[in-house]
């Protein structure tokens, strides 16, 4: 294929899409919106009740078509049929382990990739790489079978794609070493984009004994929020007027999210914190911006140790330059440095977390250093920069530089 100019470039993106609320949908909305300022982007999105056909949000070259449903047995055929209909120079598929449905959607996803291979080059973004040592099930046999499935699927994706995109170097190493050692050159690092905050509602942070502490994200057991609540009880002994705001709700893929929420509220009542801990639910962008601006510390207590990915919550709030406390897990080890852009807990317990919060509140030099570190970190990760990196990959692929399925590629080796 000859050289394709950016203005005339057409790409077809397969993904979930808002108002469906998962991390990939929110990521894709930002990426595709920025890409559409320079090219035509056709989004083949998941159907929601009452949303069919083609929608054109905003201006420019963004076209959203609701064409497939999660858990459907026919989603590969629907996506392939519409991909042929809209045409385009290449396809960009977003991959998440339960993005297209339950466990039975995984082989159907591979069938979709095989179908798309017939029509156009494929770029695949893998949002989660599961480590080879991950414990996925308490039953030994089921755990063994699950890991075999992950090994097969991960290897298949890398070998079938023309380019695989991951978000940091730890993800790249886990994917290449664990599943595709012969295809290192086609696995490229493009970071998760950072959203710019609104600057019209900047509020000074709290002072004195009334600090505001913020958590945001999906409420899942892997976040360790019960530990956060108990740690906050210890913070109150030093700052009796402190407030903890918990923003978010159950992940749409979780069936038992509401029961976890009830447990957290029971812990809050048991600890006598109902006047200090506020469950906010999901907020719109304007309200969330205002709350982040008003907060003194952001806590991201994610505890998964064998899931290599990045944090959408981090990308959402990093550009506010608020001190961040997080856990020493791959999700943050691949992005941040302890003492530079965050305070990273060596172990996750109520005692450790409470000590970290008090340390940030009392050590202004530490807090100022983290704010400056985040300012430098976010400067390289604006969404317009991330979109530009994707466009370079698309153009190089269409020029034929990436035709060899496992050939080394140097221009996009990482950050």
Residues 273 and 141 in one domain: no
Residues 149 and 243 in one domain: no
Q: What's the rounded mean pLDDT across residues 219-236?
A: 91
Q: What's the rounded mean pLDDT across residues 42-69?
A: 79
Least confident of 12-16, 146-150, 205-209: 205-209
Residue 19 lies in a domain: yes
Residues 267 and 166 in one domain: no
CB 382 within 8 A of CB 193: yes
Q: Is the pLDDT of residue 121 over 90?
A: no
Q: How large is the C-alpha radius of gyration of the chain?
A: 22
Residue-level pLDDT at 411: 38
Residue 407 lies in a domain: no
Residue-level pLDDT at 297: 97
Residue-level pLDDT at 413: 39
Q: Please, which pLDDT band fits residue 409 given cuts at 50, 70 and 90?
A: very low
Using alpha carbons, select from 20, 14, 160 the residue that is nearest to residue 79. 14
Q: Is the pLDDT of residue 50 over 90?
A: no
Q: Please, which pLDDT band fits residue 205 given cuts at 50, 70 and 90?
A: low
Element housing 92 (H / E):
strand 90-95
* pLDDT per position as a tens digit, 102-111: 989 999 999 9
Residue 405 lies in a domain: no
Residues 226 and 364 in one domain: yes
Tokens (6 digits) for 169: 């170097």
Residues 184 and 218 in one domain: no
Residues 177 and 34 in one domain: yes
Residue 198 lies in a domain: no
Residues 241 and 305 in one domain: yes
Residues 238 and 152 in one domain: no
Q: Specify the CATH number for the domain of residue 263.
A: 3.40.50.2000
Could you list the residue range(s) of the whole structural domain that residue 15 is in?
A: 10-193+382-398
* pLDDT per position as a tens digit, 157-198: 999 999 999 999 999 999 999 999 988 899 999 999 999 987
The tokens 């385009």 sit on which residue? 88
Least confident of 50-64, 212-226, 251-265, 399-413: 399-413
Number of domains in the chain: 2
Q: With pLDDT > 90 as the criterion, what percentage of the chain qualifies?
A: 67
Q: What is the mean pLDDT of the chain?
A: 88
* Residue of 52 and 232 predicted with greater confidence: 232
Q: What's the rounded mean pLDDT across residues 119-148?
A: 88
Residues 259 and 372 in one domain: yes
Residues 386 and 240 in one domain: no
Helix axes 105-117, 75-86, angle to 10 degrees: 30
Residue-level pLDDT at 52: 61
CB 102 within 8 A of CB 2: no
Residues 242 and 374 in one domain: yes
Residues 283 and 189 in one domain: no
Q: Is the pLDDT of residue 207 over 60?
A: no
- pTM exceeds 0.85 for this model: yes
* pLDDT per position as a tens digit, 257-315: 568 888 889 998 888 898 899 999 999 999 999 999 999 999 998 887 789 999 999 99
Q: Where do runs of H (alpha helix) occur along 236-333?
A: 257-270, 285-294, 312-317, 330-333
């Amino acid at each position: 294929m000859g050289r394709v100019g950016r203005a005339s470039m057409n790409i077809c993106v397969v993904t979930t899409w808002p108002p469906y609320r998962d991390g990939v949908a929110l990521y894709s909305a930002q990426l595709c919106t920025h890409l559409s300022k320079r090219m035509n982007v056709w989004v083949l999105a998941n159907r929601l009740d009452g949303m069919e056909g083609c929608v054109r949000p905003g201006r420019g070259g963004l076209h959203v078509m609701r064409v497939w449903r999660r858990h459907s047995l026919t989603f590969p055929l629907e996506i392939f049929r519409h991909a042929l209909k809209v045409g385009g120079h290449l396809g960009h598929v977003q991959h998440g382990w339960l993005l297209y449905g339950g466990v039975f959607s995984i082989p159907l996803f591979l069938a979709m990739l095989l179908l798309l291979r017939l029509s156009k080059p494929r770029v695949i973004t893998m949002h989660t790489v599961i480590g080879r040592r991950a414990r996925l099930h308490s039953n030994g046999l089921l755990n063994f079978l699950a890991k075999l499935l992950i090994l097969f699927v991960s290897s298949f994706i890398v070998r079938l794609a023309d380019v695989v995109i991951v978000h940091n170097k730890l993800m790249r190493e886990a994917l290449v070493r664990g599943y595709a050692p012969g295809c290192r050159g086609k696995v490229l690092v493009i970071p998760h984009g950072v959203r710019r905050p609104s600057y019209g509602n900047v509020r000074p942070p709290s002072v004195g004994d009334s600090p505001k502490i913020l958590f945001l994200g999906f409420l899942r057991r892997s976040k360790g929020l019960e530990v956060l609540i108990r740690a906050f009880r210890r913070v109150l002994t030093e700052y009796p007027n402190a407030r903890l705001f918990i923003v978010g709700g159950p992940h749409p893929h979780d069936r038992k999210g509401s029961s976890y929420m009830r447990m957290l509220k029971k812990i809050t009542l048991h600890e006598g914190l109902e006047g200090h801990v506020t469950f906010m639910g999901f907020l719109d962008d304007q309200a969330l911006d205002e709350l982040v601006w008003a907060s003194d510390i952001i806590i991201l207590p994610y505890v998964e140790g064998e899931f290599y990915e990045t944090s959408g919550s981090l990308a959402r709030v990093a550009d506010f330059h608020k001190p961040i406390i997080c856990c020493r897990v791959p999700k943050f080890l691949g992005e941040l440095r302890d003492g530079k852009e965050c305070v990273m807990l060596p172990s996750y317990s109520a005692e450790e977390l409470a000590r970290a919060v008090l340390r940030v509140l009392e050590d202004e030099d530490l807090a100022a250093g983290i704010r400056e570190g985040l300012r430098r970190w976010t400067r390289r990760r604006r969404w317009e920069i991330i979109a530009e990196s994707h466009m370079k990959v698309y153009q190089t692929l269409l020029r034929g530089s990436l035709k060899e399925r496992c050939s080394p590629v140097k221009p996009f080796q990482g950050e």
